[in-house]
Chains A and B, each alone.
Chain A
Amino acid sequence: MSKAKRDTRVIATYNIKGGVGKTSAAVNLAYLAAKAGHPTLLWDLDPQAASTFLFRVRPKVEGGGRGLLRKRSRTAQHIKATDHENLELLPADFSYRHLDLALDQFKKPAGRLRKVLAPLRADYDYIFLDCPPSISLVSEAVFEASDALLVPVIPATLSSRAYEQLEELSRSGKVGRRGRTSILAFFSMANVSKQLHLQVMERLRKIDQLTVLGAAIPTADEVEMMGEERNPVPVFAPDGTAAVAYAALWAEIEQRLHSAPAGS
């Protein structure tokens, strides 16, 4: 039986900095996509294995990152079902910390992840890439493979610098070389009772070159509790502010992604 061709979108949660809410976003948004009935894959590219842990899966890939990059036809063998319908995981592995070196052995390193993902497109509507915090060959390959980079920005002056750096990168042509990757920023761990946060948010929203999504993820206990619960927020706190915010964020992302044709 031939598989129907899908209009698959690849979404990477990315930020040069750690601890800004990449993993929390990837896990919750992927869960929401799957819950709406879309076959969804999350690839935990971070050797720290935070999203793998949140899905209770052992952070182990036979053959490591190098094997995944080399043997594209076998990628599917490493995929695990999560406890949630329609949501599957390609786990992290400790060897991913050398993924740069592994990529560098290919003629076109930046295009390699895209190639590895190509055969998986038949099986999923959405593929999430949860990235390690860095700017490296891995990031380049991620940019190349993604339809959208989802960038959490904490609305405090220091961390929003990170977003501005990304903007520079984008203008220098390093990000989204194919010119089709949209960069979507959203406010993460926002605290509207803090004057500083409000000011930064207002300032960034005014920059024309930046796409800042309307929905912001507030600082919320539920997100922190994910580590205890090892479940996406909507599973254990469906009515909390965080779950509501992630749902709004996802609705906005989905709408934006489907107003532009997918890269292939």
Chain B
Amino acid sequence: MNERGELVTTQAPLEALRRALAGAYQASAHGREAVELRDDLEKLVCRVTVMSVPGGSNWLTVTALRGYEQDADRIRRLLRKHGFQSEDQWKSATVTMSGGERSDAVVARVLLRLQEIQDANLPGALAGTHVEFLHDFRVAIRRTRSVLREMRGVFIAEDLQEVRADFKWLQDQTSAARDLDVYLEDLEQLRSLAPEPMRADLAPLQPLLEERRRRARLAMSAALTGERARTLHGEWRGILHGLILEPENLRPDASRPIAELAGGRIRRVHDQMVRMGSAIDQGSAPEAYHELRKKGKELRYLLELFGAHLFDPELVKPLVSTLKLLQDVLGLHQDREVQAQMLRELAQELIGLAGGAQALMAIGTLVDRLEADSLAARGRFSSSFAQFSSAEQRRLVTDGFR
């Protein structure tokens, strides 16, 4: 996975680098997208690539020349000290909280932070500068929706309905573009899954997918810069800032301690997953796996956004890792299903194109492989689910999250 950068600044990058490194390294521009850093002997020690994103953020990647790794580390330290942010500050939704705090106050803080992440990633997502922006934008929306579902008792039910519908709409507007990002990223991997002599035959897929993505992005941009999205982003902050002042008799969970509320939700979702998963066997429809995976995400978000800050790490960490294992298996199953589905759809469009016949044959073989993969993932489901739903794990969850 290619990263968009390791450090971020909203200042003009060359000047910001010069200020931060003054006296230690010289910075000079090398073309429009790179800066060279030299030491006291004027030796080139690092190259910095800069990706500028509309909206004013600049994403830097520091690459050491061989033998100058220590200089690179020192440079990274200096840059952080001078206000360059590390990139996870743009995706991590970590918010400080303590278990005894009112739930509505904590939930509002978490949601405001998620809104910040959306705002920060929106320009990059619109510009299509790097797929990571849209991805992080969507994760923040999914997390928001999950919090709205799980913590609904801190809101007035009526107010919530509209907001939830809006965020669902927002996510839907971005789905097609994200799916195509993923397909295009997967294409290389898909090609490698096809039998060697057929790989070249898949070439017509790329331009087809790119054209689709171009159209999907246009539609997405229109929606995200339109009236409905702007209104939502504006009003949402107001709602969150005023939340604790709303009448409490309409918000049953508002003043409960957050640890109690979050712990209860974690126990409940874990329990739901155990029941859903137990009903799954080799013959179950793909939807059953899909639903379980969605629940798994819900649990993951609860654990990351609240659990990790409120409960014993000894308890949360192993639960997160067994959950991750399970989600990976479910994810592979679903990815393969989705990829196969996408290929079947594209096959229709390929028929008329030059080289289309060969591409169709290659796709046929590929779809078979994907389905075999998907079946294999099903085979691994029962063991990873057994670990997740063991009596021991269930007891830990029931006792620990309260």
Contacts and interface: CB of A to CB of B under 8 A. Distances in A.
Instruction: Tell me which of A55, A56, A88, A230 has the highest count of chain B C-beta atoms within 10 A of its own C-beta.
Output: A56
Contacts of A79: 66-67
B43 A83 contact: yes
Interface string A54-98: 011110000000000000000000111101000010000000000
Interface string B334-352: 0000000000000000000
Contacts of B68: 80-81
B43 A56 contact: yes
B127 interface: no
B354 interface: no
Contacts of B41: 56-58
A79 B65 CA distance: 10
Interface size class of B (residues with CB under 8 A): under 10
A80 B67 contact: yes
B235 interface: no
B44 interface: yes
Nearest to A91: B67
B88 interface: no
B287 interface: no
Contacts of A56: 41-44
A142 to B, nearest CB: 23
B323 to A, nearest CB: 34
Nearest to B42: A56
Interface in A10-68: 55-58
Contacts of B66: 79-81, 88
A81 B71 CA distance: 13
Contacts of A83: 43-44
Interface in B27-76: 41-44, 65-68
A83 B68 CA distance: 12
A81 B66 CA distance: 5
A81 B42 contact: no
A88 B65 CA distance: 10
A88 B43 CA distance: 13
Nearest to B40: A58
Interface of B: 41-44, 65-68
User: Nearest 10 pairs between A and B by C-beta?
Assistant: A80-B67, A56-B43, A81-B65, A81-B66, A83-B44, A56-B41, A56-B42, A79-B67, A57-B43, A81-B67
